[in-house]
Structure formats: structure tokens, C-alpha cells
Amino acid sequence: MNSLPLKLALLAGLGLTSAGALYTPPAVAQVSVGVGIGIAPPAPRYERVPPPRAGYVWAPGYWRWDGRRHVWAGGYWVRARPGYHYRPAYWVRGRDGWRFHQGYWGR
């Protein structure tokens, strides 16, 4: 009796079991924590937008809060996502002060 097919079946089963145990699906949910601050961001700075770059979208610069003051974060290239539109970072005034919203991809 040849035990090679049995050994191969066991090896394949172990491989599939370990692959299933190690697989981690990508996270779908996003968590966002926001803090209202009482100091309005300065007016946006003028930035010279570089020439278009194939497969990328320009994300304009924005004022970010470092815990004590607003600091300018310069623009940068973001890899394009077909079927989506990039929405740049922005500030919104609310009841509890100014809130920052990170740039994101929307449909």
C-alpha cells in the first residue's frame, strides 16, 4: 500500500489550515478622534502646484494643529484611486471650536 497520496493530502490540509489561521482581512472601518480648538486656522498659504503626474492626485497643503499652534503641512502627491475623488483636508467651525477633517477619498 502506497501512503504518498495520504501524506500529500495531510500536507495540503495542514497548509490550508495554517494559511486560514494566518490570514487577516483588511480593515474596513475607520476610527476618527477629533478635538475642538478655540483658535481659527490662518488663511491657506499659496502653493505652486507641480506639473501633473500620471497616476497621482495633488493633495494641497493645510494647517495642522500640533497641540499648541497651527503648523503648515505642505502639499503632496497621493496615488490615484480609479472611481474615487480626492477630498482635501479642511477645518470646520462648530459649537466647541474648530475641528480638523483629514483628506479622504470619496465616490
For the chain, percent of residues with pLDDT exceeding 90: 63
Specify the pLDDT at position 36.
Answer: 83
Please, are residues 40 and 93 in contact by the beta-carbon 8 Å criterion? yes
Residue 1 identity: M
The radius of gyration of the chain from alpha carbons, rounded to an integer in Å, stands at: 24
Which DSSP category does 47 fall into?
-
pTM beyond 0.85, yes or no: no
Rounded mean pLDDT, 64-86:
96
Rounded mean pLDDT, 75-98:
95
Q: Which of the residue ranges 14-18, 56-60, 84-88, 90-94 would you say has the lowest mean pLDDT?
A: 14-18
For the chain, percent of residues with pLDDT exceeding 70: 70
Sign, CA dihedral 37-40-42-47, equals positive
pLDDT digits (tens, 9 = 90+) for 8-59: 666 666 665 665 555 555 544 555 556 689 999 999 999 999 999 999 999 9
